[in-house]
């Protein structure tokens, strides 16, 4: 818009208009143009146009771009040291004394923070303090459930806002009453099988609000997507099994599975899709979506993300540490990358059960106001929690896609995968082939489908006909069957090379021009004799004792054994 206004001003001034008249015409045109009406300043005039022209002549066209990306605080208002001190003060004073206001408490936290900060960085006199004022304390409070302590601490407007936010957490009393789901990028660089850096992984996490334990966690190299979120929710309802604990060598073993009553998430693309919405509807859960740009609406999963980030900082390849921020350590982290995604998954799972599950949470971080570890909280409330569903129910819940397919004598084909079972064979005998049946399937798992027919009391679960079908989605199975572009190029190159060899042989045959052979047998015998003579000549050129064999003594003459002579002549002994 600004560049258009400057160019239009030049045209009007060349046409003989004055500067003020030109500005009036441009202002009218901009307000009538539907493209620019939203961006025209309310007080547009000659001074505004002169300012734009001055900026362009001084710093170029880039100076006309808006500076809105520089507004606001894009990072945390506090560091980890301030958060620890604030949490300790909240638990020590704020929950017990209703005469302490937020302002007075922020002064106390700021004083303690300055003392701890100077003690930690007393050797580095050039380093400056991080933000630690009242707004930093309010940012900490926004990530906590503080509905039971805000009535005496804030003015009426702030208290009303926080109470409306806190009403959402009043229903959280038992495990799986509220499960918060979030996708985040891990602060660590990984290594591929060829020992090159492949970038940062994606974590899909589902945290139970009451216990604070991540009941579902997935690590992927792809961007956040709906399929990853669905797989994470499936992990919430599915037992891990002994093989899981043996695989990652976990010592603190316990199962924590159940049916979420409320699933809280943001409005990202990975949490928006028909598959996920139908899954939540069939499971009977309630889906609560937060407003964009409000991470405080998911305080429990955000708290776990911070704990996970602190653990990843101790591993090689971390993108930042407490001493070096992101931009200063990015290149160093890429050079340090030495963990594959399988190795990272093993380390995270062992840390999750053996370390995080036994770490005591502060009372201010727990919705039940109890200082205990996630494992202790689960064992105390396990008997009152909603029991996990049976595997058959989980299978039916996640089969959200519906289609109609014809049956044949060899089974049913869905999305390029063939399914058959003895039970389906009996059904085909009863209804005949080429009959259309309703089919439901899980898009994230191509190993089985559900067949629905009026003669069946319950849906018939039919597995894949081949036992070698991998546990992948239908989309991944289709991609695996599709030949990649690189393979097609290699195949085309090989075929082209074969044709070039054939053409070269044809050209050589035409150059020789021998004509038709009258006697094929005699010509073949003649060529065989010529080749034999050539081999004899080649072998004759090699000396007998030359290194023609790998064993040196194999080409040497056999030495003669020495004959030992007696010192005395033999005599005839006479016998009596």
* Residue 145: count of CB within 10 angstroms of its CB: 23
Residue labelled with tokens 């993300």: 305
**Separation of alpha carbons 396 and 234, rounded Å:** 12
Q: Partners of 185 in the beta sheet?
A: 202
Whether residue 462 contacts residue 423, with contact meaning beta carbons closer than 8 Å, is answered with yes
DSSP single-letter state for residue 358? G
- Six token digits for residue 292: 């964009």
Which residues have CB under 8 Å from 181's CB, separation 6+? 204, 205, 206, 216, 229, 232, 233, 263, 264, 265, 271, 301
89 closest CA partner among 137, 43, 22: 137
Residue 216 is predicted with a pLDDT of: 93
- How many C-beta atoms lie closer than 10 Å to residue 305's C-beta? 20
306 neighbors 82 (Cβ within 8 angstroms): no
Q: 3-state DSSP call for residue 198?
A: strand
For residue 451, the cross-strand partners are: 439, 460
Q: How many other β-carbons are positioned within 10 Å of the β-carbon of residue 346?
A: 16
Task: Give burial (CB, 10 Å; 0-12/13-18/19+) of 60.
Answer: exposed
Smallest CA-to-CA distance from 276 within 234, 237, 305 is with: 234
Q: Are 177 and 288 in contact, with CB atoms under 8 Å apart? A: no
Q: What is the pLDDT of residue 325?
A: 67
Give dist(CA 430, CA 450) in Å, integer: 18
- Whole-angstrom distance, CA of residue 533 vs CA of residue 535: 5
- Buried-exposed string 417-444: b where 16+ CB fall within 10 A, e elsewhere: bebbbeebeebbeeeeeeeebebbbbbb
* SS3 letters across 111-152: HHHHHHHHHHCCCCCCCCCCCCCHHHHHHHHHCCCCCCCCCC
What pLDDT is attached to residue 136?
84
- Rg over CA atoms, the chain: 39
pLDDT at 81 (0 to 100): 84
pTM for the structure as a whole: 0.62
With contact defined as beta carbons under 8 Å apart, do 114 and 132 qualify? yes
Contact 220, 204 (CB under 8 A): yes
Helix (H) or strand (E) holding 205: strand 202-208
Pairing of strands 448-452, 436-441: antiparallel
From first to last of the 576 residues of the chain, give the pLDDT tens digit: 888 888 889 899 888 888 889 899 988 888 888 888 878 888 888 888 888 888 888 888 777 777 654 555 555 677 888 888 888 887 776 566 555 667 778 888 888 888 888 888 776 766 778 778 888 888 887 776 554 544 444 444 555 555 545 544 546 778 888 899 999 999 899 998 888 888 899 999 999 988 999 999 999 998 888 889 988 998 998 888 899 999 999 999 999 888 888 888 888 888 887 788 888 888 888 888 876 666 667 888 988 998 999 899 889 888 877 777 666 778 888 888 899 999 999 999 999 999 999 998 887 777 777 888 899 888 888 877 666 666 667 777 788 788 899 888 889 998 888 999 999 888 888 888 888 889 988 888 888 888 888 888 888 888 888 877 777 888 888 887 787 788 888 888 888 888 888 888 888 877 776 555 556 777 778 888 888 888 888 877 777 655 544 455 555 566 666 666 666 666 666 665
Q: Are 223 and 199 in contact (CB under 8 A)?
A: no
Domains and CATH numbers, the chain: 2-66 (no CATH), 80-169 (no CATH), 179-384 (3.30.420.10), 399-481 (no CATH)
Give CA 278 to chain center in angstroms. Answer: 23
């Amino acid at each position: 818009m600004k560049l258009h206004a400057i160019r239009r001003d030049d045209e009007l001034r060349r046409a003989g208009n004055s500067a003020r008249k030109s500005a009036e015409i441009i202002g009218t045109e901009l307000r009538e143009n539907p493209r620019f009406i939203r961006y025209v300043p309310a007080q547009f005039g000659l001074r505004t146009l002169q300012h734009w022209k001055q900026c362009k002549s001084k710093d170029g066209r880039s100076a006309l771009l808006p500076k809105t990306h520089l507004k606001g605080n894009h990072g945390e208002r506090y560091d980890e040291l301030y958060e620890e001190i604030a949490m300790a003060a909240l638990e020590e004073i704020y929950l017990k004394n209703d005469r302490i206001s937020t302002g007075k408490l922020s002064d106390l936290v700021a004083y303690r923070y300055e003392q701890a900060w100077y003690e930690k960085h007393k050797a580095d006199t050039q380093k400056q303090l991080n933000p630690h004022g009242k707004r930093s304390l309010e940012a900490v409070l926004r990530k906590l459930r503080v509905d039971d302590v805000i009535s005496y601490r804030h003015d009426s407007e702030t208290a009303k806002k926080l109470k409306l936010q806190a009403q959402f957490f009043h229903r959280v009393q038992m495990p799986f009453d509220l499960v918060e789901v979030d996708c985040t990028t891990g602060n660590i660089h990984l290594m591929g099988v060829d020992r090159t850096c492949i970038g940062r992984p994606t974590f899909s996490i589902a945290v139970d609000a009451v216990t604070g334990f991540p009941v579902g966690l997935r690590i992927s190299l792809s961007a956040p997507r709906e399929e990853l979120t669905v797989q994470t929710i499936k992990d919430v309802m599915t037992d891990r099994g002994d093989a899981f604990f043996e695989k990652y060598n976990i010592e603190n073993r316990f199962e924590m599975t159940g049916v979420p009553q409320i699933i809280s998430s943001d409005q990202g693309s990975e949490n928006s899709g028909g598959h996920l919405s139908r899954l939540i509807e069939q499971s009977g859960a309630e889906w609560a979506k937060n407003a964009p740009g409000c991470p405080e609406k998911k305080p429990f999963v955000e708290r776990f993300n911070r704990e996970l980030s602190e653990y990843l900082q101790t591993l090689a390849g971390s993108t930042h540490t407490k001493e070096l921020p992101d931009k200063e350590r990015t290149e160093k982290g890429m050079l340090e990358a030495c963990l594959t995604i399988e190795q990272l998954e093993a380390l995270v799972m062992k840390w999750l059960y053996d370390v995080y599950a036994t770490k005591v949470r502060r009372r201010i971080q727990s919705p039940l106001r109890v200082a205990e570890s996630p494992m202790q909280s689960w064992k105390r409330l396990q008997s009152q929690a909603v029991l996990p569903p049976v595997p058959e129910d989980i299978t039916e819940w996640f089969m959200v896609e519906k289609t109609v397919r014809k049956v044949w004598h060899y089974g049913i084909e869905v999305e390029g995968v063939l399914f058959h079972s003895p039970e389906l064979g009996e059904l085909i005998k009863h209804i005949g082939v080429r009959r259309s049946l309703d089919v439901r399937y899980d898009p994230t798992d191509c190993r089985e489908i559900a067949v629905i027919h009026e003669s069946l009391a319950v849906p018939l679960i039919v597995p894949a006909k081949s036992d070698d079908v991998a546990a992948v989605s239908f989309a991944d199975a289709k991609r695996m069957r599709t030949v990649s572009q690189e393979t097609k190029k290699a195949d085309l190159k090989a075929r082209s090379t074969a044709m070039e060899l054939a053409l070269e042989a044809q050209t050589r045959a035409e150059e020789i021009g021998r004509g038709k052979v009258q006697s094929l047998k005699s010509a073949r015998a003649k060529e065989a004799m010529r080749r034999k003579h050539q081999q004899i000549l080649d072998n004759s050129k090699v000396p007998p004792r030359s290194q023609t064999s790998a064993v040196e003594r194999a080409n040497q003459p056999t030495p003669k054994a020495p004959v030992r002579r007696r010192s005395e002549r033999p005599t005839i002994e006479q016998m009596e």
